[in-house]
Amino acid sequence: MRRSARDTEYSARRISRRTMIVAGAQAGVLGVLALRMRQMQVEEADRFRLLAEENRIAIRLLPPARGMIYDRHGTILAANEQNYRVVVVREDAGDVAAVLARLKELIGLSDDDVERALREVGRRSPFVPIAVAERLNWEDVAKVASNAPALPGVFPEVGLSRHYPLGPDFAHVVGYVGPVSEADLARLEDPDPLLQIPRFQIGKVGVEARMEDVLRGSAGSRRIEVNAVGRVIRELDRQEGQPGADVQLTIDARLQNYVQVRLGEESAAAVVMDVTSGDLLAIASSPGFDPNLFVRGISVADYRALTENDHRPLATKTVQGAYPPGSTFKMVTALAALEAGLVTPDETVRCPGHLDVSGNRFHCWRGGGHGSVNLARSLVESCDVYYYEIAQRAGIDRIHAMAGLLGLGQRYDMPLSAISEGLNPSREWKRARRGQEWRIGDTINAAIGQGYVLSTPLQLAVMTARLATGRAVEPRIVRAVNGIERTPPVVPSLGLDERFLREIRRAMYSVCQTERGTAWSSRIDAAEVRMAGKTGTSQVRNITAAERARGVVSNDQLPWNRRDHALFVAFAPHDAPRIAVSLVVEHGGGGSTAAAPIARDIVLQALFEGTPPVSAYPSSQRRRIESQQRDLAPRLLPPPGPGASRA
């Protein structure tokens, strides 16, 4: 049926309207798209350019060079060495286990290396590089680089690792670094981003740990271009970090080395201190250990050998070990009584070999007694009964105060680990810690450095330096940071009567230089460097009345760990003191036989700044000393060459 002209015209008008609507909508959409394209390409071009750059440019942190550690003369104690390593980035690697399996075949990784890397990958963010192997040789690095297409997410790097050239000599002082652990991160409220760098090393003990903020430095960064699969194309730019500050210690490396060698395998500790400045010239604990083992990752077998050794090589005995000071404490008791006017230097006390107090018998080390003794003889022959008597007059309050004045019972603020404050007991301490009142027997035991009294070798060196100078000398171990020297503080007077100090010094000189002195066999013949000292022996076991009745068992008949500790303190030269020395030999037996000979050798080595002439020793001992020096020589550091720094 044919449509009318009217219907045809109506249909045409309807189609035209629809066409215009559709065309208008299309035009509107195109207009919106055009405006959006203009906005993106012109107005927001910078933002999208940045987004595009971030997709192909990665920014990685660069660890700074750790500050070096030197001795007082510029000898390197802690250095940095190049370390070739391989890292893996999880988000770039994909199947990490498969990639590590291929890498294992290429450079010979151990199963432990692979397992450790997989554990670390699981703990870290996917973009954080994880160290798989370190200290690789150049051939292994070249293999990794040439096989890059088969090892996605694996990158060879060159970093720095810590090295301790003098090994055990400074293990207890400088300490060591190790990789950041989860425990390290947990201790920090706002950890430095540097600590996320794979195998980043921080100080664990000693100066390395206590001066971490100074030694670490600040991170740098580098911008690298990567392709679609994360492979590094090129480095765009690099901004180096700020290296850590160098630290110079007061320690003399050659003297420290000698002390360690001279102590040998004894379980012992020695401190050498400059009495004028407080500088620690040597502070050695024996036996030592190689700190480089911890930097590289110590094996289970090596670590077990250290922890199961009954001589405790990991302990810093100089500041951590607290020992009964024995007779080296007698100068404290004497000064307490002298300053209070309760005894005079010439007053005598009769020693029958014991003293009965409140129904208890306190014995002198010499069973038959010393007869009538005054201050000088009591120190020279180390009579115990003399100090039992004057301690009752002085009382624990005065003894406690004098011990504190001479530096005992104090925790010195130095960058060393686990510094002990020892124990300078008082009435208040016993009441608070033991819930008991102080008794007269406690005072008598304290008078000879037994009972509750505990001191570290460092504290004994401070005490000796203060006796030698009459001044409040404080120990210090950091000499300079970044070349800026730290000036020793002005040392005030102790306020003690110089007459009494002279009496103490004169008696300590006689301990070493008179035949009745307990250190006579360790005397020095060279008049210009003679020392003044005091021996000490501290019990580590109780001697029963039954044992005394049948005869006290000698130290050499006892198991090692039940023998007495041997101690010796000294300053030298006696008439113009320059150094103070303290020495503790754990379970060494007697101070006169085990500690004094070693201390005498250390004193001479320090004063002569090297091997002393045998003429400094008594003539009867010179052949033995020559043999000893020959035996020690191969293990000693050589003297500085021409032009070497001797600051």
Whether 646 shows a pLDDT value over 60: the answer reads no
Specify whether 230 is located in the same domain as 279.
no
Stated as kind and residue range, the H or E segment containing 61 is: strand 57-62
Q: Of 267, 277, 285, 327, which residue is the catalytic one?
A: 327
Mean pLDDT of 61-78: 91
For residue 143, count CB atoms less than 10 angstroms from its CB and return exposed for 0-12, middle for 13-18, buried for 19 or more: middle
Query: What region, left, alpha or beta, does residue 228 occupy, with left being phi > 0 and alpha being psi -120 to 50 degrees?
Result: alpha
Whether 367 shows a pLDDT value over 90: the answer reads no
Mean pLDDT of 275-292: 96
Specify whether 283 is located in the same domain as 217.
no
pLDDT at 226: 64
| Domain endpoint, select from 230, 249, 268 | 249
Tokens coding 324: 């009964």
Q: Which residues pair with 218 in a beta bridge?
A: 242
Name the one residue in this structure whose structure tokens are 């199947």.
95
Residues 179-229: tens digit of each pLDDT: 887 777 777 766 777 777 666 789 999 999 999 999 998 877 777 676 655
Q: How confident is the model at residue 358 (pLDDT cuts 50, 70, 90)?
A: confident
584 neighbors 269 (Cβ within 8 angstroms): yes
Residues 375-393: tens digit of each pLDDT: 999 999 999 999 999 999 9
In percent, the amount of the chain with pLDDT more than 70 equals: 88
Q: How confident is the model at residue 528 (pLDDT cuts 50, 70, 90)?
A: very high
CATH number of residue 174's parent domain: 3.90.1310.10
Task: Name which of 513, 521, 507 is nearest 590 in CA terms.
Answer: 521
Specify whether 575 is located in the same domain as 617.
yes
Q: How confident is the model at residue 92 (pLDDT cuts 50, 70, 90)?
A: confident
- Which DSSP string corresponds to 516-580? TSTTGGG----GGG--EEEEEEE-SSPPPHHHHHH-PPPGGGS-GGGSPEEEEEEEESTTS--EE
Task: Name which of 259, 271, 254 is nearest 320 in CA terms.
Answer: 271
Size of the chain, expressed as the number of residues it contains: 647
Specify whether 214 is located in the same domain as 286.
no
Q: How confident is the model at residue 31 (pLDDT cuts 50, 70, 90)?
A: confident
Mean pLDDT of 415-424: 95
Describe the crossing of helices 440-447 and 384-405 by its angle, rounded to 10 degrees.
Answer: 90
pLDDT at 404: 97
Mean pLDDT of 245-249: 97
Active site residue 286: no
Residue predicted with more confidence, 557 or 577: 577
Q: How confident is the model at residue 600 (pLDDT cuts 50, 70, 90)?
A: very high
Q: Count CB atoms within 10 A of the CB of residue 59.
A: 11
| Residue 426 per-residue DSSP state | -
pLDDT at 556: 72
| Domain endpoint, select from 249, 282, 299 | 249
- Which DSSP string corresponds to 149-212? GGSTTEEEEEEEEEE-TTGGGGTTTT-EEEE--HHHHHT-SS--GGGGSTT-EEEEEHHHHHTH
pLDDT at 334: 98
Specify whether 171 is located in the same domain as 81.
yes
Tokens coding 4: 């009318």
596 neighbors 522 (Cβ within 8 angstroms): yes
Q: How far apart (Å, rounded) are the C-alpha atoms in residues 334 and 383?
A: 12
pLDDT at 497: 97
Mean pLDDT of 292-311: 89
Give Cα 26 distance to the centre of its chain: 78
Please compute, for residue 521, the number of CA atoms within 13 A of its CA located in the half-sphere on the CB side: 11
In percent, the amount of the chain with pLDDT more than 90 equals: 61
In a domain, 186, yes or no: yes
Specify whether 283 is located in the same domain as 373.
yes
In a domain, 523, yes or no: yes
CATH number of residue 428's parent domain: 3.40.710.10
pLDDT at 647: 39
In a domain, 80, yes or no: yes
Specify whether 481 is located in the same domain as 551.
yes
Q: How confident is the model at residue 246 (pLDDT cuts 50, 70, 90)?
A: very high
Whether 407 shows a pLDDT value over 70: the answer reads yes
Mean pLDDT of 489-501: 95
Whether 628 shows a pLDDT value over 60: the answer reads yes
In a domain, 598, yes or no: yes
In a domain, 6, yes or no: no
Specify whether 419 is located in the same domain as 445.
yes
Specify whether 225 is located in the same domain as 262.
no
In a domain, 31, yes or no: no
Residues 438-467: tens digit of each pLDDT: 999 999 999 999 999 999 999 999 999 999
Q: Please tell me whether residue 82 adopts helix, strand or coil conformation.
A: strand
| Domain endpoint, select from 195, 219, 249 | 249
pLDDT at 218: 85
In a domain, 18, yes or no: no
Mean pLDDT of 147-164: 81
Residue predicted with more confidence, 111 or 609: 609
Q: How far apart (Å, rounded) are the C-alpha atoms in residues 507 and 534?
A: 9
pLDDT at 82: 82
In a domain, 11, yes or no: no
Specify whether 221 is located in the same domain as 280.
no
As a whole number, the mean pLDDT across the chain is 87
Q: How confident is the model at residue 8 (pLDDT cuts 50, 70, 90)?
A: low
Residue predicted with more confidence, 282 or 87: 282
Q: Please name the residues in contact with 592: beta carbons below 8 A apart, sequence gap of 6 or more.
A: 518, 519, 521, 522, 535
Specify whether 200 is located in the same domain as 286.
no
Q: How confident is the model at residue 645 (pLDDT cuts 50, 70, 90)?
A: very low
Domain that holds residue 191: 60-249
pLDDT at 232: 60
Mean pLDDT of 242-256: 96
* pTM score: 0.84
Q: How many domains does the chain have?
A: 2
Stated as kind and residue range, the H or E segment containing 487 is: none
Q: For residues 587-602, b (16+ Cβ closer than 10 Å) or e, as one string?
A: bbbbbbbbbbbbbbbb
Tokens coding 330: 């007698």
For residue 421, count CB atoms less than 10 angstroms from its CB and return exposed for 0-12, middle for 13-18, buried for 19 or more: middle
Residues 103-133: tens digit of each pLDDT: 877 887 777 778 877 887 777 667 667 777 7
Lowest mean pLDDT across 19-23, 342-346, 442-446: 19-23
pLDDT at 329: 98
Specify whether 169 is located in the same domain as 285.
no
Stated as kind and residue range, the H or E segment containing 404 is: helix 384-405
